[in-house]
């Protein structure tokens, strides 16, 4: 009886190592070529009057496409980390910036998250709390801030510092790729000075101040596709941190509070971000 099963091809180790070396050289060459293109981009922007180097919507789209096309032996963690470093470092080359980080709950987790998403070239600046991060970003010439969504222990209603029109705003939620085993799974917001363009508006984030809580509020906000991310008591009532789909108008959110009889409602849009890509 003839054996018709396919036999595994035989590989020569020396040849395989030559192939690996060739690929390494090609990857390095392509990175240098990317740098040359970025240099031309800097020149074009200078002629056109400048503009922010941050493109959170484009970054989210790049990461989404990266995950969709990835296959093979290399772990997704590694691919995502490499691309995050490439994107963040080339952004830094265009316009140098530092990342101010709220280290209230300890430096280790925030440092891991920051290094995974921004690499080691971008300066890491720990701050004592979220308010200090907001202040540092507001005073800077273009730095970013990272705050835990839950604010950490005793953080208070940190998002109130984002309400003024000229105050820093939320431009991204990390990690871009949402999966249970993510190596940098700490949920954080990225803050920057208000961007005039290229903001992602899949999800809008609001600061809402109300006089008192109503039991039906949570269900009504959830029915809109929204989420209450923070709820902190203040001397004037409650301060809520709420996210809602970009398709939901602020008037719809306002109407919910009116329906429940909530008084003294003040709503401020404090930023937006792309929908995170979910891997299950």
- pLDDT beyond 80 at 6: no
Tokens found for residue 128: 């004592």
How do residues 9-20 score in pLDDT, each as one tens digit?
Answer: 677 899 999 999
- pLDDT beyond 60 at 248: yes
For CATH 3.30.70.240, the residue range(s) in the chain are 203-277
Output the pLDDT for position 64: 92
Mean pLDDT of 81-104: 93
Say if residues 207 and 241 touch (Cβ distance below 8 Å): yes
Say if residues 133 and 168 touch (Cβ distance below 8 Å): no
What is the CATH architecture of 203-277? Answer: 2-Layer Sandwich (3.30)
- For β-strands 124-127 and 99-102, DSSP reports them as parallel
In the chain, what percentage of residues exceed pLDDT 90?
61
β-bridge mates for residue 204, sequence order: 244, 272
Say if residues 137 and 237 touch (Cβ distance below 8 Å): no
In the chain, what percentage of residues exceed pLDDT 70?
92
- pLDDT beyond 90 at 188: yes
Output the pLDDT for position 45: 80
How do residues 124-156 score in pLDDT, each as one tens digit?
Answer: 999 999 999 999 999 998 999 999 998 665 678
The pTM score is 0.89
- pLDDT beyond 60 at 2: no
Mean pLDDT of 251-278: 86
Residue 162: DSSP 8-state: G
Q: Which of 10, 270, 32, 275 is nearest to 163 (CA)?
A: 270
Return the minimum-mean-pLDDT range out of 163-167, 195-199, 246-250: 195-199
Cα(42)–Cα(91) distance, integer angstroms: 10
Tokens found for residue 122: 């971008």
């Amino acid at each position: 009886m003839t054996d018709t099963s396919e036999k595994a091809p035989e590989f020569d180790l020396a040849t395989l190592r030559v192939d690996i070396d060739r690929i390494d050289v090609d990857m390095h060459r392509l990175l240098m070529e990317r740098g040359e293109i970025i240099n031309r981009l800097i020149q074009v922007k200078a002629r056109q009057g400048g503009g922010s180097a941050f493109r959170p919507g484009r970054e989210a789209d790049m990461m989404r496409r990266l995950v969709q096309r990835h296959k093979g032996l290399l772990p997704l963690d590694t691919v995502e980390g490499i691309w995050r470093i490439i994107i963040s470092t080339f952004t830094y080359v265009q316009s140098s910036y530092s990342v101010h980080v709220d280290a209230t709950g300890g430096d280790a987790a925030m440092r891991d998250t920051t290094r995974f998403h921004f690499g080691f070239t971008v300066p890491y600046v720990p701050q004592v709390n979220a308010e200090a991060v907001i202040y540092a970003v507001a005073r800077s010439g273009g730095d970013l801030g990272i705050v835990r969504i839950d604010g950490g222990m005793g953080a208070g209603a940190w998002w109130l510092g984002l309400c003024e029109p000229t105050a820093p705003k939320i431009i991204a939620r990390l990690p871009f790729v949402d999966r249970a085993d993510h190596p940098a799974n700490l949920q954080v917001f990225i803050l920057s000075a208000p961007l005039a363009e290229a903001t992602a508006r899949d999800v809008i984030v609001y600061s809402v101040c109300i006089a008192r809580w109503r039991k039906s509020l949570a269900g009504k906000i959830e029915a809109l596709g929204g989420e209450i991310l923070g709820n902190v008591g203040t001397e004037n009532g409650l301060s809520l941190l709420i996210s809602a789909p970009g398709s939901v108008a602020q008037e719809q959110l306002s109407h919910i509070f009116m329906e429940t009889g909530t008084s003294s409602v003040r709503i401020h849009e404090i930023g937006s971000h792309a929908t995170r890509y979910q891997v299950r």
